[in-house]
Every structure is written in C-alpha cells, then in structure tokens.
C-alpha cells in the first residue's frame, strides 16, 4: 500500500496526497527529429493542434479528483449537520449527553472491520485478518500493541475523544446548533496555535490573523445573546470541546506522528474498545445517581441514537479517509458549509434570532477558518502569480506598440487607412 500521512483526529482533515501521472503507452519509443511544424507546436498538443494524451490524462485525473471532492464535501456537510440536528432532537426525549457520547463512541469498533472489507475488495494482494492486524500493529512499535502501549498511547486519546464529543453534545443542550457548529470551527485556529507552540511549526502571519478573528468571533457570539449565563455556559462548553479536540490532534502528531489508512482504522477501533471496557461504568453511575436518568428502556429513542451514531461514524470515516480520493482542503470546506445548513434548519425549527452581531461573528469565524486553509507557500504562489501577470502585461504593451509602429505609412508619415488602394 502507498503510505499516506493521514492524521487521525476526531474532527480533522488529513495531509494532501501527491498527484502522479502515469506514462502514456508508446511514449518511450524513439522518434525522428521534429520538423518545422512539429517544433513550433505548443507544449501539450500534437502536430494537429489537439491536446496530447498526457495532457488529456492529467485533466481526467484532476476532474475525477474534483468530482470526488464535491461528493466528499456534500457527505461531510450532510453527516456533520445531520448528526448535530439529530442530537438536538434526541435530547428532547433523552436528556443524557454522556450516555449518547458513550453509545456513539462504541461504534468506533467498526473502523477496522470496514477497512479490512475495503482491503479485500480493492487490494491485489489480499491478506488474512491476522496478517493485516499484525502489520498495522507496527504503528505502535516493534512489539506491537502490548498492554503497556494500550494504556500509554491509546487510553489518553480515548479520554480526549470522549471529552471532546461530550462537551460538544452538552453544548447543544444549552445553545442552538448554529452557534455550536460555527464556534467549533475555531478548532482549526486552536490547532495552529498549539502546533506553533508545541510542535514548533512554521510561523505564518495570516494564520495568526485567523486565530485573532476566531477569538473575536467567540467574544461577539457571547455578546450577541447579552452575556446571559445560559448562553455563556453553552459557548464555554463548545469552546472547550474545540480546545480538547485541538489538543488531541497535536498530541497525536507529537507522540505518534502520521499513520497509514490501516493503522488509522486500527487506532480508532482501539478507541472504541477502550470506551467499551473502561468508560461503560460512567453511564451506569450516572444512571443510578439519577444525573442522567430515564424511566424505562422502552422510552429511549433508539432510532435517534442509532441514526446519530451512524452519521457520526460516517463523518469520521469520510474525514479521516477521504484523502484517498480528493484534496483535504475540500473536505475541510464541508465543516464550514454545515454552518449555513444548521442556520436554515434552526431558522424554521427554533426561535433563534439572527441579529447583526451574531451574523458578523459567524462571518468572522468563517473567514478565519478559510484563512487557515491557505497552504504554507501561499505567499510564494501569490508573488509568482503577480510577477507573471506583470510580465504578461508588459509583453502585451510591447506587442501593441510594435503593431502601431510597423503599420504601412504614407508619405506624410501617417498610417494609410485600411480601405486605401
């Protein structure tokens, strides 16, 4: 398998793959020296002026990647917005955010079985489950997945995963889903700040500006409701969820680095196992202490619980493994596009008031998120683009001057009109 630097995170995208071009069949045969007409043909075209097979194949690959990117964006947007709205609907009948978090996290166990099913369908060299498991376990070291490794490298991330989702769901109880989804977009700004401090990542002024915009958006969102205690608590919960998620991603990169698809799937399945073995006791304690209590199991909206879990599982699968078919920037756009989707739903299902302060805060946070999607070399690309446009403008001006000076002239030194004989 090709190695991809897919970064495992509960709500994160991955590094971009390298797009390679395959050689055109028959391209390596010897050719005669080009004639005058062939030598003057532009790059990427044949002697007849048509696009070459190499150029056509490149464009096909790019179009395919963009097509899959649109599909991934729609899937990320719909699954994230759907999970958020379904969680809000679930709390009307089942007021137990931690139990819902525990129930949904158990479904992480399906990551590795689903990955292995894809491996059997796609891979030319099929391995048994045991062989594939052992190969993926090398991600944890030469000794594989030992008990010590489980408690030192997997258990802390299991706690962070549970805490991220619990704070997010608990915030949905306090404030509307639009505010929750837009505030969680600040997660990317927190990731940059932690990476800059802990991982010594490259300093980028535009990302500092994006982080400032995110913080300003949080303050304005709090001000939009008049600093009421109910909304302040909800905003604090979702900001805490975004902060814990950022800590998860940075620690994963610091301690474990990057992972292949199979290693990422195994790691997420291990988080599900950890949740089943060690987190199950907490919902039981909350039930008997009546912190999260329900009268009977028949009253539990199992359809909503299973629907939320399936949507959250789909979201994490697409976000962690969508890099195989498209660009990571497109996947990140799906999270931003879920904000207007939630806003439309909230507009017709709740009493949310989109005053000027709230709209400005949403725009500021969205702008900060988009600035964080800029690649590290964006300034170099921008300077090259401006330089190229400047050179082209000078060339056009020179060609225009040459055309005026080389036209046929009469004896008086003025150019003849086009109808003169």
DSSP structural state of residue 182: H
Distance in angstroms (rounded) separating the CA atoms of residues 185 and 343: 14
Do 83 and 311 touch, CB atoms closer than 8 A?
yes
Q: What is the pLDDT of residue 13?
A: 37
- Cα–Cα nearest to 265, from 4, 15, 81: 4
Do 139 and 112 touch, CB atoms closer than 8 A?
no
Distance in angstroms (rounded) separating the CA atoms of residues 413 and 406: 12
Q: What is the pLDDT of residue 41?
A: 38
Distance in angstroms (rounded) separating the CA atoms of residues 354 and 302: 33
Distance in angstroms (rounded) separating the CA atoms of residues 34 and 15: 42
The whole-model pTM stands at: 0.77
Distance in angstroms (rounded) separating the CA atoms of residues 8 and 263: 9
At 373, phi and psi to the nearest 5? -85, -10
Count the neighbouring beta carbons within 10 Å of the beta carbon of residue 416. 11
* Residue ranges in the chain modelled with pLDDT below 50: 1-49, 55-56, 409-421
Compute the CA torsion angle 111, 169, 167, 282 (nearest 10 deg). Answer: -70
Distance in angstroms (rounded) separating the CA atoms of residues 259 and 9: 11
- Dihedral (CA of 202, 205, 207, 208) sign: positive
Helix axes 356-372, 177-184, angle to 10 degrees: 30
Q: What is the pLDDT of residue 325?
A: 73
Long-range contacts of 343-350 (CB under 8 A, 24+ apart): 343/178, 345/81, 345/85, 345/177, 346/176, 346/177, 346/178, 350/176
- Residue 251, burial from CB neighbour count under 10 angstroms (0-12, 13-18, 19+): middle
Taken as a whole, the chain contains a residue count of: 421
- Tokens standing for residue 164: 């991220």
Distance in angstroms (rounded) separating the CA atoms of residues 126 and 1: 11
Partnered with residue 415 across adjacent β-strands are 409
């Amino acid at each position: 398998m090709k190695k991809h630097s897919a970064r495992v995170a509960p709500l994160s995208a991955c590094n971009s793959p390298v797009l390679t071009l395959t050689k055109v069949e028959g391209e390596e045969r010897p050719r005669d020296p080009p004639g005058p007409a062939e030598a003057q043909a532009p790059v990427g075209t044949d002697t007849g002026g048509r696009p070459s097979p190499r150029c056509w194949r490149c464009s096909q690959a790019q179009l395919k990647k963009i097509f899959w990117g649109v599909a991934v964006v729609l899937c990320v947007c719909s699954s994230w917005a759907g999970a958020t709205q379904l969680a809000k609907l679930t709390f009307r009948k089942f007021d137990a955010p931690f139990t819902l978090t525990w129930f949904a996290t158990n479904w992480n166990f399906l990551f590795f079985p689903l990955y292995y099913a894809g491996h059997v369908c796609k891979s030319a060299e099929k391995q048994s489950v045991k062989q594939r498991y052992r190969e993926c376990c090398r991600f944890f070291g030469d000794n594989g997945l030992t008990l010590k490794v489980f408690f030192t490298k997997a258990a802390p991330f299991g706690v962070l995963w549970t805490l991220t989702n619990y704070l997010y769901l608990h915030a949905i109880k306090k404030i509307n889903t639009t505010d929750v989804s837009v505030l969680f977009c600040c997660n990317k700004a927190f990731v940059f700040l932690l990476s800059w401090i802990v991982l010594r990542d490259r300093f980028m002024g535009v990302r500092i500006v994006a982080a400032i915009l995110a913080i300003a958006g949080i303050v304005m969102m709090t001000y939009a409701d008049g600093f009421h205690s109910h909304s302040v608590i909800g905003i604090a919960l979702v900001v805490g969820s975004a902060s814990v998620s950022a800590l998860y991603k940075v620690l994963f990169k610091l301690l474990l680095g990057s992972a292949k698809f199979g290693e990422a799937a195994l790691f997420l399945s291990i988080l599900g196992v950890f949740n089943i073995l060690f987190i199950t006791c907490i919902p039981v304690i909350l039930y008997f202490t009546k912190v999260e209590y329900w009268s009977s199991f028949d009253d539990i909206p199992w359809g909503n619980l299973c629907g939320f879990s399936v949507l959250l599982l789909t979201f994490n699968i697409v976000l962690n493994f969508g890099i195989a078919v498209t660009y990571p920037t497109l996947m990140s756009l799906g999270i931003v596009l879920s904000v207007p989707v939630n806003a439309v739903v909230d507009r017709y299902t709740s009493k949310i008031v989109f005053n000027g302060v709230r709209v400005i805060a949403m725009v500021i946070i969205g702008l900060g998120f988009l600035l964080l999607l800029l690649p590290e070399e964006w300034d170099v690309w921008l300077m090259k683009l401006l330089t190229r446009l400047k050179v082209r403008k000078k060339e056009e001006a020179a060609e225009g001057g040459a055309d005026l000076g080389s036209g046929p002239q009469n004896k008086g030194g003025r150019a003849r009109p086009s109808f003169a004989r």
